[in-house]
Amino acid sequence: MSISKLVSGVEEACSGVEDGMTLMLGGFGLCGIPENCIEQLVKLEVKDVTCISNNAGVDGFGLGKLLSGHQIRKMISSYVGENDEFERQMLSGELEVDLIPQGSLAERCRAGGAGIPAFYTPAGYGTEVAEGKEVREFDGKPHILESALTADFAFVKAWKGDAAGNLIFKATARNFNPMMAMAGKITIAEVEELVPLGELDPNEIHTPGIFVQRIFQGKSFEKRIEQRTVRPFNSPS
What is the percent of the chain where pLDDT is above 70?
Answer: 94
Question: Tens digits of per-residue pLDDT, 163-183?
Answer: 999 999 999 999 999 999 999
Query: pTM value?
Result: 0.90
Given a cut of 80, whether residue 7 has pLDDT beyond it is yes
Phi and psi torsions of 221, nearest 5°: -70, 130
Specify if 233 maps to a domain.
no
What is the percent of the chain where pLDDT is above 90?
Answer: 82
Task: Please tell me the distance from the alpha carbon of residue 104 to that of residue 142, in angstroms, as a whole number.
Answer: 15
Specify if 1 maps to a domain.
no
Q: What is the CATH number of the domain that holds 34?
A: 3.40.1080.10
Query: Residue 99, Cβ neighbours under 10 Å: how many?
Result: 16
Specify if 125 maps to a domain.
no
Residue ranges making up the domain that contains 191: 10-106+149-217
Specify if 228 maps to a domain.
no
Q: Tell me which amino acid residue 189 is.
A: A
> Using an 8 Å Cβ cutoff, are 148 and 78 in contact?
no
Question: Tens digits of per-residue pLDDT, 107-144?
Answer: 999 999 999 999 999 999 999 999 999 999 999 999 99
Specify if 15 maps to a domain.
yes
Query: Residue 179, Cβ neighbours under 10 Å: how many?
Result: 25
Tell me the mean pLDDT in the region 7-14: 96
Domain count, the chain: 1
Distances (CA, A) of 227 to 81, 82, 169, 176: 12, 9, 23, 20
Given a cut of 90, whether residue 233 has pLDDT beyond it is no
Sheet holding 141-147, edge to edge: 118-121, 141-147, 135-138
Distances (CA, A) of 127 to 122, 131, 237: 11, 7, 56
pLDDT of 180 = 97
Question: Tens digits of per-residue pLDDT, 30-55?
Answer: 899 999 999 999 999 999 999 999 98
pLDDT of 237 = 56
pLDDT of 227 = 64
Length of the chain, in residues? 237
Tell me the mean pLDDT in the region 214-227: 77
Model confidence band, residue 80 (pLDDT cutoffs 50, 70, 90): confident
Strands (E), 150-236: 151-162, 167-168, 184-195, 214-217
Average pLDDT, the chain: 92
Tell me the mean pLDDT in the region 148-158: 98
Q: Tell me which amino acid residue 106 is.
A: A
